[in-house]
Amino acid sequence: MKIVAYFPENVLSNVGLSAVYPEWTAEKIFDKTGIASRHIATGDETALGMAERASQTLLDKEGIDKDAIDFLLLCTQSSEYRLPSTSCLLHERLGLPKTAGALSFDHGCSGFIYGLSLAKGLIAGGMAKNVLLVTAETYTKYIAAEDKSTRTIFGDGAAATLIDEEVASKIGAFSFGTDGSGAGKLIVRDNKLFMDGPEIFNFTLDIVPNTMADVLAKNNLAHGDIDLYVFHQANKFMLDTIRKVNGLPRDKFYVNLETTGNTVSSTIPIALKQLGDAGRLKTGMKVMLMGFGVGLSWGATIITI
């Protein structure tokens, strides 16, 4: 699976945050979140621009012929305009063939999982052979200055992933879930982000065990068959609690958002890129992927490296 991540140049460290919120030291923020710094999109930098940079770098780095891209999928809740679809704008910027489809969807924390399912479906249905799946968010543009809790967690970023026929064949069955009654727990109203952290935390602890059991059953696997668990990188405290409550081995459970923060739909592909760069992904390994959050929505699948 070929992945490229992109981050804005501007970096906000915990030291910078503690200067704004003196009651929170840099160490306290890190202990609470597992995050030391995060990238912040400033000025006119948008999710579209970040998506373009990630995608173009992927095409150039991997020597991918843009004319071979059959379909573009863009997951973002930071659209350029109310209309047209930001995927159409990205399609034009990348110079993809006019015969390639383009679709935007706004599924946030579970978005990469949903994107994988869409890409697999397009390929399995014979509608595409090469799908460019892009995730990009600028959540920090919605955070009020006084909202120190969310300012410590979220960072901006984008990721571009190529799903071809070979990769699609290594993506397993999916487990999905939705609870729209919890929409108000993480929402943007009047251009300001609101998150009920404790409720999101409880929701996550509630849905993860059943989702793991369901996706394992659908793939005819057991926990012992899984080599790595790569979940949405929400914050370290939440992930550590999930691991402990579900009895998952520490060495199989990936947590690394120290220099990125919670990049919403991009956390899972960024984590996979980090693992690949570190040489931790070996041929034949089975990796459980799970996203959960805004919506409320969640999804999981198992990929074979």
pTM for this entry: 0.96
Which tens digit of pLDDT belongs to each residue from 7-23?
999 999 999 999 999 88
Q: State residue 145's pLDDT score.
A: 85
Q: Is the pLDDT score of 237 beyond 90?
A: yes
Q: Which two tokens stand for residue 174?
A: 């999916």
Q: 130: which residues sit within 8 A by CB, 6+ positions away?
A: 64, 68, 69, 70, 71, 162, 163, 164, 165
Q: Of 296, 70, 298, give the one whose Cα is nearest residue 184.
A: 296
Share of the chain above pLDDT 70, in %: 100
pLDDT digits (tens, 9 = 90+) for 69-82: 999 999 999 999 99
Residues annotated catalytic, as ranges? 109, 232, 262
Pairing between strand 157-164 and 171-178? unpaired
Q: Which domains does the chain have, with CATH numbers?
A: 2-168 (3.40.47.10), 171-304 (3.40.47.10)
Percent of the chain scoring above 90 in pLDDT: 97
When pLDDT is averaged across residues 116-126 and rounded to a whole number, the result is 98
Q: What pLDDT band is residue 211 in, cutting at 50, 70 and 90?
A: very high
- E-assigned strand segments in the chain: 2-6, 11-13, 37-39, 71-75, 101-105, 130-137, 157-164, 171-178, 186-189, 192-195, 228-231, 286-293, 297-304
